[in-house]
Amino acid sequence: MKNLTAFSRRFAVLAALAASTPAHAINGYFMNGYSPASNAVGGTSVAMAQDSSVLAANPAGMHHVDPGYDISLRFLHPQRDAELDCRGIGACDTVVRDASSREFFIVPGFGLVHAFGERLRAGVAMYGNGGLNTTFDRPVYAEALARVAGLRPGDPGFKTSGKVGVDFGQFIMAPSLSWRVAPRIDVGISPLLSIVKFKAYGLETFRPLSSDPSSVTNRGSEYVLGGGLRVGMMIELLPTLRLGLQYTTKLKHTRFDKYNGLFPDNGRFETPRHYAVGLAFDPVERLTLGVDVMQIQYATVAATGNSGPTAAEFAGGFAPTRQLGGAQGLGFGWSNQTVVKAGIIYRFSDRLTFRLGYNGADETTPSSQTLYGLIVPSAFRNHVTGGMSIRVGERSELSWGYMHAFDAERRDPSSPLLGMPAKTNFAGDAFDIGFRRRF
């Protein structure tokens, strides 16, 4: 145990780098699952515990996994396009489009569960969220406005280079306790520590909309700290049927100083509260079926829920409270999101386990919010998943999981920016590999 504790400390340092390694998420900026096993079943985890990543969904699930530790790596390949069609507006005669050049990310994960008798378990999980990460090599906003004004490449004031995008990553550490309060009832609690990294570049077009134009873009990376709480319960309704419940508060963070002219309320950022219910059923000995229903309340957080700029505001000016950085400043206009996750686990033998899953979610971004959301296209809706595990020796296991997010498109036929149609396309894949060791 001493060696494992030392190992976990070293890995904590590495995992903390997840805050500076942007992740590309699936449900808004939440991952669908946080290990190869959970990813392979679409993220179904509230009642269908498989490993220590259950702490990212329901801390009471620790009583339903073998004590041990897990290490994983997620390889992400998101593809994002942005387009502004300024043809017919002013002197513009072309479509300004580009694809994000940042398409590959690696995200580490770690978890540990230890048993203290039959009734008490303790553990910790470290995992990443993200997804608001783009790098467009073409300054799409500035170029579209320049073309409308009649400028062409080579003219003074026509910007032909300069990256546009944002870099967002969140690392969460969840130390957890779970108690068996009755023979078939477990409750759990996880204080959550959050580190958020953010950087914006190439957003000079939006400086005139800010209460502090000097704190909108090109100020390098900034880190803020925050925290919250997750509680959960697991109830064995029948020997073959389990019910899981979890609730996670908002994670409140210190304000951004470098970007207080970009985020609402003078740089405030919060992770939205979310809650879920899940069922897991074992119809036969080697088969488990699971389903989760999760609600993420993006609309209750100013940075994600406040609406983006409107045509009336572009034409008539922005009230001080609606400016970037203002008390009700511009946001991405996301709606609350309901996510349905479903998974199948088939234990083919004592050594081989196969998994399949599905993850489907409501749309977070109305089409009217496409303009401001070009740099944060994170609205995947339908995903299929699969994977397997193979036992290596008596106490070790290797796992992999795969997720494909189907192509999606968001289009505003007449965006607030002089009526330009705005469009973004996105698709993505993720591949997880992991190692699990039982004590």
62, part of any domain? yes
pTM exceeds 0.85 for this model: yes
- Domain span including residue 177: 14-438
Rounded to an integer, the average pLDDT of 390-403 is: 95
1, part of any domain? no
Residue 116 tokens read as: 């203290």
Residue 85 corresponds to which amino acid? D
Residue 70 corresponds to which amino acid? D
**Is the Cα dihedral 168, 226, 292, 344 positive or negative?**
positive
CA 200, 132, 70 angle in degrees (round to 5)? 125
Give the pLDDT confidence score for residue 16 in this predicted structure.
39
Q: Can you tell me the distance from the alpha carbon of 357 to that of 257, in angstroms, rounded to the nearest whole number?
A: 41
Rounded to an integer, the average pLDDT of 23-27 is: 60
Give the pLDDT confidence score for residue 110 in this predicted structure.
96
Rounded to 10 degrees, the C-alpha dihedral 58/30/128/67 comes to 20
8, part of any domain? no
Backbone torsions φ then ψ of 121, nearest 5 degrees: -135, 145
DSSP state of 234: E
> Do the beta carbons of residue 47 and residue 245 sit within 8 Å?
no
Give the pLDDT confidence score for residue 12 in this predicted structure.
40
The structure tokens 């958020």 sit at: 196
Cα distance between the two ends of the chain = 9
**How far does Cα 230 stand from its chain's mean position?**
17
The structure tokens 């996994």 sit at: 65
pLDDT at 433 over 90: yes
Give the pLDDT confidence score for residue 25 in this predicted structure.
55
pLDDT at 251 over 90: yes
5, part of any domain? no
Give the pLDDT confidence score for residue 6 in this predicted structure.
46
- 417 versus 133: which is more confidently predicted? 417
Q: Can you tell me the distance from the alpha carbon of 22 to that of 42, in angstroms, rounded to the nearest whole number?
A: 21
Q: Can you tell me the distance from the alpha carbon of 226 to that of 337, in angstroms, rounded to the nearest whole number?
A: 23
Q: Kindly report, residue by residue over 272-304, the tens digit of the pLDDT.
A: 999 999 999 999 999 999 999 999 999 999 999
Rounded to 10 degrees, the C-alpha dihedral 372/378/379/381 comes to 170
Q: Give alpha helix (H) positions in 225-294.
A: 264-267
The highest-confidence range among 75-89, 209-223, 361-375, by mean pLDDT, is: 209-223
180, part of any domain? yes
225, part of any domain? yes
Name residues whose C-beta falls within 8 Å of residue 243's C-beta, 6 or more positions apart in sequence: 47, 234, 235, 237, 277, 278, 279
3, part of any domain? no
Label the pairing between strands 422-438 and 274-284.
unpaired
CATH classification of the domain holding 118: 2.40.160.60
Average pLDDT of every residue of the chain: 89
Q: Kindly report, residue by residue over 306-342, the tens digit of the pLDDT.
A: 998 888 888 888 899 999 999 999 998 889 999 999 9
77, part of any domain? yes
Q: Can you tell me the distance from the alpha carbon of 262 to that of 251, in angstroms, rounded to the nearest whole number?
A: 19
**How many distinct structural domains can be found in the chain?**
1
